[in-house]
Every structure is written in C-alpha cells, then in structure tokens.
Amino acid sequence: MTTPLHERRIANAIRVLAMDAVQKANSGHPGAPMGMADIAEVVWREFLNHNPTNPQWPNRDRFVLSNGHGSMLHYALLHLTGYDLSLEDLKQFRQLHAKTPGHPEYGYAPGVETTTGPLGQGIANAVGFALAEKTLAAQFNTADFNVVDHFTYCFLGDGCLMEGISHEVCSLAGTLGLGKLIAYYDDNGISIDGEVEAWFSDDTEQRFLAYGWQVIRVDGHDAAAIHQATVDAKAESNKPSLIICKTVIGLGSPNKQGKEDCHGAPLGQDEIALTRQALGWAEAAFDIPADIYAAWDAKEKGKQSEAQWNTLFAQYQASYPSQAEQLLRRLTGDLPADFNDKANAYIAETNEKAETIASRKASQNALQAFGPLLPELLGGSADLAGSNLTLWKGCQSVEADAAGNYVHYGVREFGMTAIANGIALHGGFIPYVATFLMFMEYARNAVRMSALMKQRVIHVYTHDSIGLGEDGPTHQPVEQIASLRGTPNLNTWRPADTVETATAWKSALQRKDGPTALILSRQNLAFQNRDQAQIADIAKGAYILGQEKGELKAIIIATGSEVGLAMDAYAQLEGVRVVSMPCAEIFVQQDPAYREAVLPSHIRARVAIEAAHVDYWWKFVGLDGKVIGMQSYGESAPAKDLYQHFGITTDAVVAAVQELTA
C-alpha cells in the first residue's frame, strides 16, 4: 500500500521546503527529509501531542531528530505546524545568526528539544527524555492524576546505529523498560559513501529484540502502516519500540532518489524542476498552498491539549498542593528557597570538622548533606559507584523503583553522559554522573554537548591524577583536566580539601546556565585552615590561601592534591603567597580588581603546581614563571613514589621559587 494522494501531497510540502532551502543555501542534506517525509506526516499530524504556541508546555511529547543532518525535516515540520519559525527563517537556512542552523541547535528555533548532529547522541538524549518522564511520573503521579504523561519520539538513521553509543543507550533503554520511547529507523541503505551494505550488514531487528525492544517493520512510505505501527508501539507499555521504516532516500527526485547523490548536497535547479514535476507540485520555490498549511496547522489542537492538561493540573494542585508546588519548582530549575543558607551551614560545619580525607569521600559527604534537600537529584555512575562514591544513604535505584533517584548505568560512559543531557533537557531533575577522570575520554563529546547546550549536568570524575598509583598510565589522567578546562561554558573544579569540595558542589548545583566537572582524588588530602573570608572567596574560583609573610616576592598557584605541597613549601619560604585555584573558569570571570588582588600583575615570579599536563598553566605564570607537573604519561607504582619520580614535590616547589627570586 502507498500513502493516499492527499497525505502524500501534505508530506510533499516537507520535500519541497527541504530541497528549496538546501538549494538556496547551496549546502545541506535534502535526502533524509525527502525520504522521511511520509513518516513525519503521520507522526506529527496524527500522534505528536504538542502546542506550537507554547513550545515549553511541560507535558508535551518530545521529538528528537537524531539524524540531525536532516535538519530541514525538523524546520519544515515546525514551520508548517505553526511554531514561530517563518518562511523567511527557512530561507535563511545555514546562514549566520539564523534560527535554522545546519544541524538542530537547542535554543535557536522554538520546538527544537536538543542539539543533534553528532550521530547517536540524539537517540541517547531521547533515552534520557524517556527515563526522566518515567521517573518523574513515578514520583508525582497519583492514582487519580497522571500529570506527567507523555511520549518521546525519535527519528534516527544508519549513522546513529553504526555509532557505538547507540548500543550503550538502547541496551539500557530495554533494560529499564522505557515503554514511552518510540524510535523510527530510516532504513534507506544509503550513507555519504554510498550503499551501506558493504560496511553495515547488522541484523538490526534481531539486535533490538536482544535489547528487549519491540520491533515493527513497515514500508516507510505507507501512511496506514506507519499509523498502525505507532498505535502498536504506544500500546506496548513495558518495552521501547523500534519501527524499522524501509524508505527511499530523496524520494521524488527522478535521477537522484535512492542514491548517495542526494544525501549531502543540493539537488541542483534542473533536478528540482524535475522533482516538482514528478511530485505534481506546480508552486514556485517556498510557496506552500493555503490548504496544505491548513492541513498541517497544529495550533488550535495544541492549545486544546494544553488547556485540558492545565485543568487536570489545577485539580491536582487542589488535591496535592505540596506535590504540585514541588513539581513546578523542579520544572523551573529553581532550588528550594532555603538551599543557599543550608549549604553555607554545611560548609561551615565541614570547616569545623577539619577532616583529612580524599576529595571523592568529601564529595560523598556533600551529597549526603545536599541530597535530602534536593529530591531533583538523579545520580549515577558507570559501574564505579563504590569508587566514585556517588551513592549516599538516600539513594534508591530506578531499576528497583521507578520513583528512585539513582541509575546504575553500567560500563557506558558515553551513553551515560548523553542520557544525562537528555534528562537535564527534559526538566525536573539535576543529573550527576560519574566515572574515573581517565574514562571521561569515552564520554568527551557528550560533555561538550552539555556545555554547548548550557545544561545543568554535573560530571563527577574521581582518581584525578598519578596519585591513583598502581593502576598505571592507562588509568592515570594527564591531559584530561586541560581538555575539560579548554571547553567553553564548562566549569571545572579541582578542590583541595573538604571545604573546597563542598563549595564546588554548591556552585555546581546553583549553576543554571551550564555544566560543571568535579575533579576528585582517590588519596587523602590534607585539610587547610581558613578564616571566614577565605571560605567565602572559594566560590570566586581562586583565593589567597597562604598570605605572604613580609614583602610579596613570589606566588605559588596550586589545585587539588598539590595545594598541600604548595602549603608545605610556603612554610619554608618568606615573601611567598599561595593561591588555591579550584576553578579557573570562575576566577577569570571575576572583576579585574579581585583578580589583581589575588594575582598582582607586577609579581612575575610565579610557580604553578599540578599533577597534570603543564601547558594549561603558562597563561597564569607567564613565560617568566615555572610550571611543575606532567609532560609524559604516568607509571605503575605507589603514589608517593610517582610524585617523587616525576618531580612533583615540595622540594621542587621550593627550588623553583628560590630560582625565580634569586
């Protein structure tokens, strides 16, 4: 069966907008939008519950275009259904400052739920959306009110399935029984290099059945079949569903459909003319007839859906006022009104205890203090909870209880991090995820996406240096901290003791405009004495921990475990200041007067010390200074021996200062 003529003409609006916009930009991917138009027509017109006049309606269905190179499919859908995305916006496809960049970017066009483009991360975000929906529903729904009740729809392609992250997240989605996740696989057999069968011969159906998914095969150009498959997918509440849609890439193009020619390049004016003729589309470029707009328009239906939910939620508020208030607070991302005061009280208490413990343990203590205050925390670790110390006494696994607050992600660092991005985007939660700092490398691109999308995700990384010892260079991070610090919009904290760790957690939790990385030690770190002013200044990213005795001659800058070495050197020197810099990104955002007070520009004798790659620190010490750290990979040995072997010692700091001030 093929799509009826009327539905096919409605779907053709996507095809012509996609090929026209890509042609005008002279750049883009027309094939996927043209091939998936019939699927999109069914999903968006018959199933997607959304309100174009309020794209942030909390109970809307989420839609993710994981194969983000086909962005004109998404933009066409948003425009046609009535979002604030004009025809002129489509004409500005891929142009500077347009709402329609080359790949969907969160925060540019209304209705785009996540940034996609790096293949596989969209389906990972979709798993995060579905997990957030299921957990939030379990926490807030009652026997008489389902105030959290929506689906996540995801389009994906061959590239998403070839990327390893799809295995990580789809395996976990099956295990967690995310029945409200429905994915549509654009099985067109074509990628940029040509026919994929030569390099992608997986049995996708069997693969997903093995994950515990429901799998349905359909003709991706048969509207009735797509409709029935979606009905069946929605009816399966215990399993996510994969609908494998056999499609023709670039459908409608007489000479390029079914070929790689239409994957990543404009069709060309001559081929567009032939395609219009083949589709029976007589209108000029970007011209959509009024009856087609009317067929797509979802504004009134969306307003009615939201109004019905608003009525339901008002009844919920009347019956369960405290739960409703908490849900609204969590959806806005606001912390409880008393959090700041209670967090400060905990930091003061931590200072009084003066414990010498590992910063990973200090992190767990902070979680134990903050967790009961923040029911929105949704934690997890990549099979290292006992090492990362991310479990606290109030943790309950979502695997055992859907209303829980902790996810055992298994050995899935990349998938875990991208899922956390989806959880943050969904709203209602502050996700934190953890692994060894070395294995941040597996998750690197998803960390970048946290920062790119300005999402409040807390990345906990323990075993932060050669200090982890005997596991050797495969597990000892060297260049990773510099990589994180070089990521725009990511705050990277490497605290020196319990008080700095508690402050780092407070900062991460209060930050609403981006992610935070917490870099924590395996080994114990000496407690540092501070007065109240110094404790307050930790939140500024850097502060004077050791005030110089007499005239200031030199400055030692240190982070994390090396602050102890700096303070030991400080005890042997005169005229030396120690600056603890747990978060350089926050420090450089301080006003010039504060920065100058901490690091006076006229003091050129500066030494930085960190058990990580030296290159990052030259911007703080200048070419006249010295950096003590790593310029090679580590070795397998006890931590004390490694610090001595690599020259990261108190004696080395003293010698460096003496040389600079001689």
Q: Which of 486, 519, 552 is the last residue of a domain?
A: 519
Amino acid at 155: F
Write the CB contacts of 230 (distance below 8 Å, at least 6 apart in sequence): 42, 43, 46, 47, 182, 243
pLDDT at 1: 43
Give the N- to C-terminal CA distance of the chain in Å, as an integer: 87
The per-type count for the chain, helices as H runs and strands as E runs, is: 27, 20
Query: Averaged over 575-582, what is the pLDDT?
Result: 98
Q: Judge whether residue 260 has pLDDT over 50.
A: yes
| One domain, residues 280 and 147 | yes
Is 423 a known ligand-binding residue?
Answer: no
Is 221 a known ligand-binding residue?
Answer: no
pLDDT at 7: 77
Whether 526 maps to a domain, the answer reads no
Catalytic entry in 7, 163, 413, 585: 413
Which of 449, 441, 396 lies closest to 422, judged by CA? 449
Give the number of other CB atoms < 10 A from CB of residue 341: 10
Is 471 a known ligand-binding residue?
Answer: yes
CA 444, 446, 451, 455 dihedral sign is: negative
Write the CB contacts of 301 (distance below 8 Å, at least 6 apart in sequence): none
Is 522 a known ligand-binding residue?
Answer: yes
Write the CB contacts of 231 (distance below 8 Å, at least 6 apart in sequence): none
| One domain, residues 584 and 498 | no
Whether 530 maps to a domain, the answer reads no
| One domain, residues 562 and 501 | no
Q: CA–CA separation, 406 vs 399, rounded Å?
A: 8
Is 427 a known ligand-binding residue?
Answer: no
Write the DSSP symbol of residue 221: T
| One domain, residues 498 and 585 | no
| pLDDT range class, residue 3, cuts 50, 70, 90 | low
| pLDDT range class, residue 4, cuts 50, 70, 90 | low
Is 389 a known ligand-binding residue?
Answer: no
Task: Write out pLDDT tens, residues 155-186.
Answer: 999 999 999 999 999 999 999 999 999 999 99
Residue burial 134-156, b: 16+ Cβ < 10 Å; e: rest? bbbbebbbeeebebbebbbbbbb
DSSP-derived pairing of the beta strands 606-613 and 626-630: parallel
Is 79 a known ligand-binding residue?
Answer: no
| One domain, residues 597 and 645 | yes
Query: Averaged over 25-52, what is the pLDDT?
Result: 98
Provide the domain limits for residue 551: 542-661
| One domain, residues 61 and 202 | yes
| One domain, residues 126 and 256 | yes
| One domain, residues 546 and 509 | no
Q: Would you call 631 helix, strand, or coil by DSSP?
A: coil
Is 118 a known ligand-binding residue?
Answer: yes
Is 119 a known ligand-binding residue?
Answer: yes
Whether 311 maps to a domain, the answer reads no
Task: Write out pLDDT tens, residues 304-318.
Answer: 999 999 999 999 999
Is 188 a known ligand-binding residue?
Answer: yes
Strands of 437-581, DSSP E:
458-462, 491-493, 516-519, 524-525, 543-546, 554-558, 576-580
Region for residue 575 given its phi and psi (left: phi exceeds 0; alpha: psi -120 to 50; beta: otherwise): left
Query: Averaged over 108-134, what is the pLDDT?
Result: 98
Q: Would you call 610 helix, strand, or coil by DSSP?
A: strand
Whether 510 maps to a domain, the answer reads yes
Whether 535 maps to a domain, the answer reads no
Q: Which CATH number do you get for residue 639?
A: 3.40.50.920
Q: CA–CA separation, 580 vs 599, rounded Å?
A: 11
Q: What is the pTM of this model?
A: 0.98
Q: Is 168 a catalytic residue?
A: no
Whether 532 maps to a domain, the answer reads no
Could you tell me the two tokens for 136? 């939030």
Query: Averaged over 549-573, what is the pLDDT?
Result: 97
Task: Write out pLDDT tens, residues 452-474.
Answer: 999 999 999 999 999 999 999 99
Whether 68 maps to a domain, the answer reads yes
Is 475 a known ligand-binding residue?
Answer: yes
Q: Which of 519, 554, 583 is the last residue of a domain?
A: 519
Whether 471 maps to a domain, the answer reads yes
| One domain, residues 169 and 295 | yes
Q: Would you call 229 helix, strand, or coil by DSSP?
A: helix
Q: Which CATH number do you get for residue 396?
A: 3.40.50.970
Write the CB contacts of 628 (distance below 8 Å, at least 6 apart in sequence): 607, 608, 609, 610, 614, 647, 648, 652, 653, 656
Query: Averaged over 217-228, what is the pLDDT?
Result: 97
DSSP letters along 128-139, please? HHHHHHHHHHHH
Count up the domains in the chain and report the number. 3
Q: Judge whether residue 617 has pLDDT over 50.
A: yes
Residue 279 has, within 13 A of its CA and on its CB side, a CA count of 30
| One domain, residues 227 and 152 | yes
pLDDT at 6: 74
| One domain, residues 604 and 636 | yes
pLDDT at 23: 98
| One domain, residues 511 and 592 | no
